[in-house]
Structure 1
Amino acid sequence: MNLTSFTDYGLRMLMRMASAPDRAFSTADLAEEFKLSRNHLAKIMQRLAQADIVETRRGVNGGAVLRSSPAEIRLGDVVRLLEQGQSLVECFGPDGGDCSIDGCCRLKSRLRQAERQFIADLNRSTLADIALSEPAAA
């Protein structure tokens, strides 16, 4: 299984936010800390906001804050959200892909089960379990 960079970067942002759940984090600050594109992080933050995982605020004290306690945010749910639209294999896609053995394939059900177990295993952990330590003051 290979998670997309979209998911990787989203998890990094949430791990940092979980370290100080009451603090508003700007995408600019997160981009600087992780050496990533601010625009890319803004797209990820938008998806997280649409799913009510974060709340975004404008203005001088603006940024994004977690809408729930880090202990209430399950990792599998986050991965499922951020991987939305990404299929484990082509035949899992919305159009079913181009499969010459469709109808007699016994691999598909096993891969679906593995995918479900992967998400279920991640859901045994929360954002609180993987929160980053506060960075050292410069």
Structure 2
Amino acid sequence: MRMTVQTDYALRVLMQLAVTGEQRTIDEIAQAYGISRNHVMKVVQRLATLGLVHSQRGRNGGLRLARPADEINVGALVRQMEDTSQFVECFDSGTNHCVVTPACGLKHALSGAVEQFLVHLDRFTVADLVRKPVDFGQLLGEENLAL
């Protein structure tokens, strides 16, 4: 399974906020990872809608986690960010045009694989993804880390 760039960036944003424990701006996050500011902005809007980050506008604004990193489940995040119901054409009976669907076992095999992928991710929180906060923070150019 391949996750979208949005999910990848969402995880990166959450990990950076978990390591710093402080507010960060969209520009700071984009610069630290060397990614597009516009992509980060779209991801942050989605994370705010999902209740995972607090966003404050204005001169002293920025982003911070809406709850502790050890309470943000990776599997749940991926389910919220990804549309796994469209993994292959036959997953959606409304748009499926594959002629072998009635006799094919691919849908069953793939749906089980996708579910196991998500179940595996359910074992992790954002805090688990940054087990070495000093190393992680240093790679992002962070000086003040939440340890």
Q: Conserved in 1, the CA contact under 8 Å of 2:84 and 2:114?
A: no
* Cα distance in structure 2, aligned partners of 1:94 and 1:28: 42
Report the TM-score when normalising by structure 2.
0.83
Report what 2:15 is aligned to: 15
Q: 1 or 2, which has the higher helix percentage?
A: 2
- Report the TM-score when normalising by structure 1: 0.88
Q: Residue 129 of structure 2 corresponds to which residue in structure 1?
A: 130
Q: Which runs of 5+ in 1 are unaligned?
A: none
Distance in 2 of aligned mates of 1:63 and 1:93: 39
Change in CA separation of 1:13 and 1:93 when aligned onto 2, cut-off 3 Å: farther
Q: 1:25 to 1:86 in 2, by over 3 A?
A: farther
Question: In 2, Cα distance between the equivalents of 1:46 and 1:28?
Answer: 14
Compared CA separation, residues 94 and 121, structure 1 to 2 (3 A):
same
- Correspondence for 1:82: 81
Report the residue type matching 2:137 in the other structure: E
Counterpart of 1:29 in structure 2 is 28
- Retained in 1: the 8 A contact 2:75–2:119? yes
Question: What is the deviation of 1:15?
Answer: 1.1
Segments of structure 2 that go 5 or more residues without pairing to the other structure are none
Using the TM superposition, give the Cα deviation of residue 61 of structure 1 relative to its aligned residue in structure 2, in angstroms.
2.2
Contact 2:20/2:142 (8 A) holds in 1: no
Deviation at 1:86, TM superposition (A): 7.3
Q: How many residues align?
A: 137
Deviates more, 1:80-89 or 1:30-39: 80-89
- 5 Å-filtered alignment, 1:1-138, equals 1-21=1-21, 23-84=22-83, 87-93=86-92, 95-131=94-130, 132=133, 133-135=136-138, 136=141
- Cα RMSD after superposing both structures: 2.0
Sequence identity (%)? 36
**Cα 1:2/1:137, change in 2 over 3 Å:** closer
Counterparts in 2 of 1:119 and 1:56: CA distance versus 1, 3 Å = same
